[in-house]
A and B are shown apart, each in its own frame.
Chain A
Amino acid sequence: MVNFKTANIREILQSLKSTAGNQRFIQLIQNLYNIQFVPLTKKVLKILVIEDEEGLRESIEEYFSEAGNVCETAAGYQSAMAKINLYRYDCILLDITLPEGNGMDILKTLKENNYPDGVLIISAKNSLDDRLNGLNLGADDYLVKPFHLSELMARVSAIVRRKTFNGSNLLLFNELTIDLLAKEVKVRDVPVKLTRKEYALLLYFIANKGKVVSKNAIAEHLWGDGIDMANNFDFIYSHIKNIRKKLMEAGSNDYIQAAYGMGYKFTEQ
């Protein structure tokens, strides 16, 4: 297998994206030479957090900055408006209940100016109307407070992936290749058969790589917060054991580590 890893080729391929003809051309080359195109994984994310609650804003900022991303914050309507009119972000985390104005207006401004920023609404209101309203106005996702930072990160990653790679459906991590459309995982061309939950869990880990993800966060991500099986996380352990086993059998490194009995960490070693 030939592995194209130089940035040049990636960029060329990036510039070829999105027309149907090009897709077919890429497909053809892939099939002909049995090579895997590696879409550009953007290393630096630029995030704007619009949140009036200081504690929450700081936590999000810290969590998102650590991976080398740029994370800016705005505590109120005015400063948020100033920022979105000056800079572009990969994703904007938007609290819709702000002291000086409505977050929905910020969203409207973004859409009226055709700014391409991804928008994730974080709201204390878990009402369907608000959710639909936000999504209709052009938000990419809607997350209800309280949430785990790892969940927020996973959602943001998904939005950025959709926005940046426009139709490309491959997610790469070292020797792992994940086809997001077909929901298939390969380790250097060796397919790995994962169950639906194991697959979701792997994506979750990759989005939060380098972070300790708590068992609570994992349980809520996989089963939703409706299922309260408090303090009984044995079934998470068996899921993780299975993923590790399957990946390692296919020749992958062991990326998942247990972290002090509180959760797990996906590390790049």
Chain B
Amino acid sequence: MRLFAKYNRVNLITTVIVMLFTGIVYYQAISWILNNQKDNDLNVEEQEIFNYVKINHRLPQIFESNDQQITFTPAKPNSVNREYINTMYFKKWNDDNGHRQHSQQGKKEGEFEAGRGLISSVTVGDKYYKILIVESKVETEDLIRIIFFITISVILFLLLVLLIINRLILNRLWKPFYGIMNELRLFNIADNKEIPKLDTAIDEFKELNRAVLAMAAKAKYDYKDLKTFTENASHELLTPIAVINSKLDTLIQTENFSERQSKILNDLYGAVSRLNRLNQSLLLLVKIENRLLHDQEMINFRELLEEMIAQFDEIFQDKNLKVSYTLNDKEIYATRYLVEILLSNLISNAIRHNYNGGEININLTNERLVISNTGGDMALPDEKIFTRFHKSSASEGSGLGLTISRQICENFNFSLNYQFQPPFHIFTIEFK
């Protein structure tokens, strides 16, 4: 859930709750005030009755009016408690000048409306009367309804405005954040592109930007340091390896080795050549990552591939591998040296991890190069195989071959992926 959505949700829910609560309080308050007012009216009416009775010593005449009905009923003395009630007000039709348009419909004589009443009592001479004054509350109700609708509309309008403003403002506010995020996503420790400085007035984002910049710079510095170290170490290793190599070459010129000595020398040769390859691979990796190999040219990929396959011919035969290939014409813009290494690595792998009498298929189309080979029954761990020094225990390789291959592919914006479709292990290069 995005921060914006989360914030909006909380914001809206709170607003609705607060608004509802306010509405209820408002409604109650207005009802109370209006009731009070009605009660005052009733009081006034009651007082008028009392005054009339005091002066005239009889009950006043009752007039039918639109919003007031007064009834006198004889009652037992002192049986009536003075109280205000909510009651119904029966409104007769046709006895006013058509105050309601719909009064024409139906045969009914009137309708009930909400009313407010006052029960009181008066004594005229020796007679005791119960007084019931009822006033229609229709106007009050209408007023409340209008107020209620206005309130609701205001709430809805406010929500809408909040929503829009939030969306607009938050989107704009968070823009620098997403900018930083994007830069971070694109951040590559190995390339030379810097994260650009953000132009924002918000302190938090400025700080974030500063922190990100500092972090990126530090990571790059450390990485560069490490790379320089690797490069220097590998370079320094070259000379001793060269000495060992040349000394071995000199040693085998001396005569008469026993079988045991020859075996030891052979192992030494093997180890030195492995050490050398490993060292070369490390140097190559550093070089690719430094983008130091930029002499790119148009390469006829098909021809290059054919050459490579011919190069491996003896080795295919030695392992009795059945090699089939269909190659379409394809030109790529790349560094020849690197592409040769890439192909050599992939084909070497296809041979090395194959069994005697196995199969290798090579398929080149305009979109992709697919090299599939038979080999072990188990799929290789998909992403692990591309990491440095990952190799199967039986492998004689340096453990850097696929890492280098992927680096080379990335260098030219190709993708290199692995799949296992029994019995084939498939490596695919997608040209983009």
Contacts and interface: CB of A to CB of B under 8 A. Distances in A.
Interface of A: 53, 55-56, 59-60, 62-63, 66, 124-128, 145-150, 197, 211-212, 214-217, 220, 223-232, 234-235, 238-239, 259-263
B280 interface: yes
B239 interface: yes
Contacts of B352: 229
Query: Main SS of chain B's interface residues?
Result: helix
A262 B252 contact: yes
A228 B397 contact: yes
Interface in B263-278: 263, 265-266, 269-270, 272-274, 276-277
A150 B261 CA distance: 21
A261 B269 CA distance: 12
B252 A124 contact: no
Given A149-B250, A150-B249, A226 B235 contact: no
Contact of A146 (B242, B262, B263, B318): B242
Given A62-B250, A230-B273, A238 B318 contact: yes
B344 interface: yes
A260 B314 contact: no
Given A55-B247, A56-B246, A262-B252, A235 B315 contact: yes
Given A60-B246, A216-B272, A238-B314, 18 more contacts: A55-B246, A56-B243, A59-B243, A66-B253, A128-B295, A145-B238, A146-B243, A146-B272, A148-B249, A150-B249, A197-B314, A215-B266, A215-B269, A216-B270, A227-B315, A230-B273, A231-B396, A239-B314
B242 A145 contact: yes
5 contacts: A216-B270, A217-B249, A228-B274, A260-B252, A262-B262
B335 to A, nearest CB: 9
Query: How big is the B interface, by class?
Result: 35 or more
A128 B294 CA distance: 10
A230 B248 CA distance: 17
A135 to B, nearest CB: 14
A148 B317 CA distance: 27
Interface string B269-292: 110111011001001000100001
A231 B396 CA distance: 9
B270 A214 contact: no
B65 interface: no
A232 B314 CA distance: 12
B142 interface: no
Contacts of A224: 344
B293 interface: yes
Given A63-B249, A261-B263, A228 B277 contact: yes
Given A146-B238, A263-B252, A228 B348 contact: yes
Contacts of B293: 128
Interface string B315-329: 101100000000000
Contacts of A228: 273-274, 277, 348, 396-398
A146 B283 contact: no
